[in-house]
Amino acid sequence: MVKRYEDWKGDLHDFLKIGDLVDDEITDHFLNVLPPATWTGSLIQMGEPYSHVGGKATFATLKKTPEGWAYAGHCYRGENTSTGK
């Protein structure tokens, strides 16, 4: 099931769970809410840090999968593995 922007209510980080596929509108939100921290063909990270873990900033992250863009959690810049925080 793909999570849709139109169904999003409340906090993004409560709405999305790691592994959730997202629609184009959520992907666009990640790109357009602020200039992205990372934007490649396989990784998009929101431009503002979500938190800091071990003294390093973490960012809400989408990663490209064979099925489409999927939420990867809060990851260090340039990475797609969640820090769990």
Rounded to two decimals, the pTM is: 0.92
The pLDDT tens digits for 10-63 are: 998 899 999 999 999 999 999 998 999 999 999 999 999 999 999 999 999 999
Coil/strand/helix, residue 9: coil
Q: 59 with 67: CB under 8 angstroms?
A: no
What is the pLDDT, as a whole number, of residue 85?
59
Contacts 24+ apart (CB under 8 A), 28-33: 29/5, 30/60, 30/62
